[in-house]
Amino acid sequence: MNHFPSGNKKQLAALAAALTVGLFAAAPAGAAGSGPGFDDPNNWPQYHRSFNAWRFSPLDQINKSNVSKLKVAWIHQPGTITHGLQATPIVIDGVMYTIAPDNNVFALDAATGKIIWRYTAKLDPIVKEVFYGSASRGVTVGRGKVFIGTLDGRFVALDQKTGKELWSTQLSDMKKDYGALFSSPPQLAGDTLFGGTTGGDQPIIGKIFAVNADTGARTWTFEVPKDDPKSWPGDSRKVGGGSAWLPGTYDPTTDTIYIGTSNAAPDFNHDDRKGDNLYTATLLALDPKTGKVKWHRQEVPMDTWDFDAAYEALLVPDGKGKNVLVHLNKNGFVYVMDKDTGAMRNAWQYTENMNWAKGVDPKTGLPIDPVYPETDKQKLHCPNLLGARSWNHGAYNPNTKLWYSHGMEVCNFVTSAKQGPVPGIGGLSLGLSDIKLTDPPGKKADGWLAAFDPLTGKQAWKVRFDMPPLSSALATGGGLVFTGDMYGNLFAFDADNGKELWKFAAGSGARGGPISYSVKGKQYIAIPTGLGSHAPGFLTGAFPQIRNLPGGAALLVFAVD
């Protein structure tokens, strides 16, 4: 905390008090994923498994009739438990590729867990000064390479067969950009490798970078805060934050990148940035060759709640022969859009507790009567700054036509404050003097897993948890939904009605992305475990029992004998 002058000490003290940080159609030629085995149902070849971001495996050997017989097949422990395991493993042709919180990469025999090769990342010591610390959400595999984004601001390419480093490109200026780093894997769009950094909470110009996947040469850089004085008065753009800290998705049928951006800075005070603050809290459609904007949909103009728009964008059939984009926001709403123009098709509320706005206009996509934080006044806002859902991804099953997603029913008290100067690495631009998570009015804070019609929001079923699950969801052709909770319980639910069919005590909470794959005719379920990141730490404000939960980092792989 000694990095902060007095003005920032108040903000960080408020945050730290809550955080308890010590807690742990056909693709064009050359399109991403056009290599051997990419379309094989036995594989999990990219972050969301498919370009449509469904997180659905068609495998059905493990199903409702035998899931109760799931047993541990093997376990991989990467050797460090800092921030747990937040990754989604990749599996191609019997080889699993995964990453540890410290950017060490492993290639494993997907049937046995035996290490084939290991890459030990050599990181700049400056990463020890960064507030957000180590968090690695996965790798990308393609073009004979394994790609990672590093904690010291680089894209790195490794040889897929040997793990040998092929190239490394420094993209983020760690000192100038207040420690903006890559916490998520860059994604492929043809021969373009693209991704954004953290930085929504820093006084910087947040960026999305693209390089040539074969050489590492920079091809374009997109500045998230738009150079527009109407959107950013005065010099506010220069310290406006904005980032794209989760993986984007790519539609090879239209050669379009979809990527969501984060909040503007200061997070909770807009006194110096009264405007729309484009392109923060926005879903962008970009040309992968140039980085030019094809269209944009800003979901939270002048975001003063830390709501972002960084989450996954699904391509879902609309029942009329066309795919539409379905995009969940931290703010408690889901936006349904035309994938080619961004025009609104619908908007629906998925959270139960909402007071920051009266709704979203389904035609314009704009919030109705938003209630902003006020300087030096404590106000209750629902949902909280972590969102009505954290970044843990949902899953869509094309057989049930249901989308399985989590939620958290938690609010926060915020006292906005004028933002003072922010020092270098480790400094945050929060614009607050106090923040505290709390129960919704008249209720007890909790969480849930639910099944929705993604186009309308109609709910098929909901399972409640006394603490919000932070694991992503996995849907399978066996009619199952897999996830995990913060206690370390792993679950399989009936995709049709939410009935619990399997439960396993893993020992530490689940935070990463479950996957399914098959090797030599045998189906496996892999679930990363180990609590970490600031999300569970911050949630201690509403769920003090989190303080007693153990950390960890273990990838558990299950099969039916």
DSSP string over 346-398:
EEEE--S---S-SEE-TTT-PEES----BBTBEEEESS-TT-SS-S---EEET
* Helix or strand holding residue 283 (H, E): strand 282-286
If you ran DSSP here, which 8-state letter would residue 462 be given?
A: E
CA 283, CA 285: separation in Å to the nearest integer?
Answer: 7
Tokens matching residue 413: 């008290």
Beta bridge partners of 519: 522
CA 526, CA 528: separation in Å to the nearest integer?
Answer: 7
CA distances from 498 to 53, 343, 448 (A): 22, 33, 11
Q: What angle do CA 397, 401, 406 make, to 5 degrees?
A: 65
CA 87, CA 74: separation in Å to the nearest integer?
Answer: 17
Of 203, 237, 146, the C-alpha closest to 424 is: 203
Burial class (CB in 10 A: 0-12, 13-18, 19+), 436: middle
What is the number of alpha carbons within 13 Å of residue 14 lying toward its C-beta?
23
Catalytic residues: 306
Question: Which residues, including other chains, have CB under 8 Å from residue 20's CB and lie 6 or more apart?
Answer: 537, 538, 540, 546, 547
Q: What are the phi and psi torsion angles at 479 (to 5°)?
A: 75, 30
